Amino acid sequence: MFGPKTHCVVVVGAQWGDEGKGKIVDVLAERADLVVRYQGGANAGHTVDTGAGEFVLHQIPSGIIQGAVCIVGNGVVLDPETFFQELDALTERGVRSDHKLYVSDRAHLTLPYHKLLDRAREQREKIGTTGRGIGPTYEDKYGRRGVRVGDLRNVQRATELVCARLAAANEFLALLGSSERADVQEHVRLLERLAPRLLPLAVDAGRVVYEALKRGESVLLEGAQGALLDVDHGTYPYVTSSNTTAGGAAVGAGIGPTAIDAVLGVVKAYTTRVGNGPLPTEAEPAVAERIRELGAEFGATTGRPRRCGWFDAVVVRYAVRVNGLTGLAVTKLDVLDSFSEIPVGVGYRLDGEPLDTMPAEVERLARVEPVYEALPGWQHSLSQVRRLADLPSAARAYLDRLQDLAHAPIRYVSLGTRRDQIIEVT
């Protein structure tokens, strides 16, 4: 993806998240000077299999495994406790981060009271959140009452901001019927403990990215979740609380949109989602369970089983449009190895009428009937394939059909979890 005229690349999920962005970023990071995570929080989970071991990352950009300089951008809501737990775990496994990992001083902090609010609200609303405090942190951010990394430069002032929020948070917890309450002293001690360790990592992230691009360096912007979980463009209200689409990359990294040269969308060769909300091409329970077991479809963050179904071309075409995708990375093609026939959702019908785009209303999307096209399976293990030309003809035909339906070229194909099982299409 990187080249003489391509210095800034965005990697986004083009379904409902969990598409395998981590391993694609890991491969691209080998050629990147700087990797920036631009939105989301500790609710994300990126799994990277280096061949020598598996790493599950939640807030630290996947590029850290390859030794790239990594930044947690201003669009991220940072859970500092789990961030340092993650960092310490990497250090124990020999991954060095000295002078390699930084955090935007404009990133908002997710604190214990945010998690209490998140869990209490989920008990009532059943949106399907992870309970990691992401939504309440973004609410504080956009309500102009949040606490940012840079605020820790004056711990007393930061403490005053947090204490003011705790009073309101505890009132809201009572209204939600929760017996839990946020503790002032716990928060004060947390801020005092975090400041000395977090502040040395704090930078003006947008300036760092801007100057790297001016020097002609390669910058990779890494998103979390997927396009259909975008707060504006996803299956609202069953979405996350940030802009997961490529438009959020410029804002969340602190650069202008004209700095972006390419956008790579990651899709599975089938479809999954975690939590509530419509999934038009969801397979019948027995088939969904088969896909789930073959693909190890359990959340990297929560361990929740993912709902599974067939590739939905309407979803991916929509993601191509709202992200401006210049290419696709298709992951987990090998999961379909044993199927003799593979349905692909090519369109929808709603109340008997054809529908070729995503409806905005979740109620309408929940009622659509998918229109399927059956493609022959290859019934051959792809685990040892290392070149596109060596794929079985049926597997190659399947990819060609997905590319035609999505209206975007396939740039990468993943046939397993390891780095050497990712094929670059040249």
Kindly indicate the confidence band of residue 47, based on its pLDDT and cuts at 50, 70 and 90: confident
| Residue 57, pLDDT score | 87
CA distance 90 to 248: 28
Q: From the candidates 7, 18, 58, 187, which is the catalytic residue?
A: 18
Kindly indicate the confidence band of residue 348, based on its pLDDT and cuts at 50, 70 and 90: very high
CA distance 122 to 131: 7
> How many residues appear in the chain?
426
Kindly indicate the confidence band of residue 131, based on its pLDDT and cuts at 50, 70 and 90: confident
Q: Is 337 a catalytic residue?
A: no
| Residue 361, pLDDT score | 96
- pLDDT of 190 over the 80 cut: yes
Write out pLDDT tens, residues 268-316.
999 999 988 999 999 999 999 999 999 999 876 667 899 999 999 999 9
Write the DSSP symbol of residue 139. Answer: H
Global pTM reads: 0.93
| Residue 328, pLDDT score | 98
- pLDDT of 123 over the 90 cut: no
- pLDDT of 130 over the 80 cut: no
Write out pLDDT tens, residues 382-416.
999 999 999 999 999 999 999 999 999 999 999 99
Q: Is 18 a catalytic residue?
A: yes
- pLDDT of 421 over the 80 cut: yes
Kindly report the number of other CB atoms within 10 A of residue 378's CB atom: 22
Write out pLDDT tens, residues 14-42.
999 999 998 899 899 999 999 999 999 99
Write out pLDDT tens, residues 82-111.
999 999 999 999 888 889 999 999 999 999
Cis amide linkage into residue 409, ω under 30° from 0: no
- pLDDT of 55 over the 90 cut: no
Q: From the candidates 7, 33, 46, 261, which is the catalytic residue?
A: 46
Judged by DSSP in three states, 110 sits in coil
- pLDDT of 426 over the 90 cut: no
Write out pLDDT tens, residues 140-163.
999 999 999 999 999 999 999 999
Q: Which residues contact 319 (CB under 8 A, 6 or more apart)?
A: 12, 14, 15, 226, 227, 228, 245, 265, 267, 325
CA distance 96 to 12: 26
Kindly report the number of other CB atoms within 10 A of residue 321's CB atom: 15
Are 15 and 297 contacting, i.e. CB atoms less than 8 angstroms apart?
Answer: no
Kindly report the number of other CB atoms within 10 A of residue 93's CB atom: 11
Kindly indicate the confidence band of residue 43, based on its pLDDT and cuts at 50, 70 and 90: confident
CA proximity to 62, closest of 31, 91, 23: 23
Write the DSSP symbol of residue 331. Answer: E
| Residue 301, pLDDT score | 65
CA proximity to 16, closest of 207, 345, 266, 249: 266
